[in-house]
Chains A and B, each alone.
Chain A
Amino acid sequence: MIHSTAAEMATKLAAGEISSVELTQQHLDRISVVDGQVHAFLYVDTEGALSQAAAVDAKRVAGEKLSPLAGVPLALKDVLTQKGIPTTCGSKILEGWRPPYDSTIVSKLKSAGIVILGKTNMDEFAMGSSTENSAYGPSHNPWDLTRIPGGSGGGSAASLAAFEAPLAMGTDTGGSIRQPAAVTGTVGVKPTYGGVSRYGLVAFSSSLDQAGPCARTVLDAALLHEAIAGYDPRDSTSINAPVPAVVAAAKKLDVKGMKIGIVKELSGDGYQAGVRSRFDEAIEELVNAGAEIVEVSCPNFEYALAAYYLIAPSEASSNLARFDSMRYGIRVGDDGVRGAEEVMKMTREVGFGKEVKRRIILGTYALSSGYYDAYYGSAQKVRTLITQDFAAAFSKADVLVSPTCPTTAFKIGEKSDDPLAMYLNDIATIPVNMAGIGGMSLPVGLAPEDGLPVGFQIMSPAMKDDLMYQVGGTLEAALLRKWGSPILSNAPALGAN
């Protein structure tokens, strides 16, 4: 039943119609058939997954009360630590590292009885929009294996679209959950900053990083969201407040009277024609469902990309200093004669890929004396202006919407030599991270010109994540009625040859 939703799987598990071991085995079988083509996984924990599944089955037989997703499998982005399981962040520098502790997210998944199938591929340290920056080779988009599955969380999104897992975990610093969701026809949610613990999430840009759920439906994402969210004393930036009721919101299927704001600056030139037409049709569906559409202007969003490519590299240059070859990861050149600093330099030369080096150097520059005010300082001011733009927009609308990305999935290799062109993928997703609010991408159809999925972004104010689930759930249901079957039923079958 790998083509079912996670919610359907949970119902069948609860009814005893299938065991978690059987369900997990079906997914492991699917992985062994298609992952040679997709390369969503960096590590598959066959034995661990089956033993987690058997433990859930035993509890169910014993009559224990289980959480809603108990027994449902999940794919974990390789930036989250899981005790004893290799965690590379897509980097050579962490090759072979087995963390001695679980991230809070993994602790929560385990206590919810969610079965972790393995670790998914990603751009190195989550820096990228295509998984081409993974030291272990790119993942492939199940819709067209010659195309990128987005990034950085392309492995997680591809695993969903290829039916290798019904749920996955992602992290989103500038769009790394939402953009892969958009280009693979899946759902991805970046919760409010601080809504999900960052403990055990290997840091890229600490003021922007946020983990969140990836799934094939809005309800599945909501179920996973509630399983992982909540206050964590181990994360000093964790919000100590109740988790928004996102599952109830996803089930409301009603947007009557809601005000939905179209962000003027996130449309028009630079957006593919098919992306624009599917976006407009989705807006019509929301109007038919009783929403009121308003146009809002966020004039400073045009500076968001520039500010992001100063703030994120600056924070990364500091965060990635921890990979110094002393406490974990690889060590290169330690011949008993060379000093620590030289060994450190040689290790980082070999261990980091091109994009990571580029960003560390850029960040080092932006933070250096003499340039700090002009670059990092100015970027922080832009961050204030973007937050003010959002505040003004949310005074006119309950949620804001835009296309998730300017284009559908591009070809592997098409942009890998042009960092600026690659960075443009994130133009519509970055403002959300800058302000720390919530953002969701859900599929709204295929672009007529290339037959590839188009993503629709919904943004909600901080700690009002329920609003984007309410709008997303309603739109998804309307589109499903129109299409008659889920979007992924149009994706090519894999593993045939």
Chain B
Amino acid sequence: MSLLLEANGLVKRYGALAVVNGVDFRVAENEAVGIVGPNGAGKTSLLNLLSGAVPVSEGRIALRGAIITGQDAAWRCRHGIGRSHQVPKPFGGMTVFENLLVAATQGGGFIQHEAYDRAVDSLELCGMLSAANRSAETLGLLERKRLELARALATGPELLLLDEIGGGLTDGEALDLVEVILDLRRRGIAIVWIEHIVHILVKVVTRLVCMDAGRIIAEGDPQSVLKDPVVISAYLGSEEVV
């Protein structure tokens, strides 16, 4: 598998506080990488740096070998990096279908019927077809999370950055979500997934990264990482969690 995204020496500072502190991170084509860690570890901040939502203080990011550090989130989306947000951010004044059309036309570059197809496909995948014409502001939390995923998919990503989309799902829904994400991988989409529900995360990812205090403290095969005493001490508290 060739390298899709590579980040070296990433640092994000807010004043004297470094929320991401010297992180090297890479994702290969079609790879699924999980990120775990305690609250405040810098997971979402790292995702924000990779997606371009916030600028880096130091370091560089490359997509397929081309430096993209200075490009904003919109540019990165149009070039294949889609993302969902931990706190859903629907376009509340628009319908669910219109939310996806914006993503398909702007991020995916699809036009008219291609965009409609893309939006309908993504809605169907995420189980939201029946809500297509509802105003996005009327959706409940779970539906908003589905909308986040569907909207990111509608951009036609090569790399999908997922931020805790499993939170609040029932066990059955979580297993369905696993199937969806495995399906995306079969379609060639690489995944970076931040998730606290570790038992569903390990069903999907082939590599696990654990962060704490802005740094990566362990990385590798999921089972090995979860048995790492450093990870147990900083995050899990017990091996029984998984």
* A, B assembled together: no
Which residues of A pack against B, CB within 8 Å? none
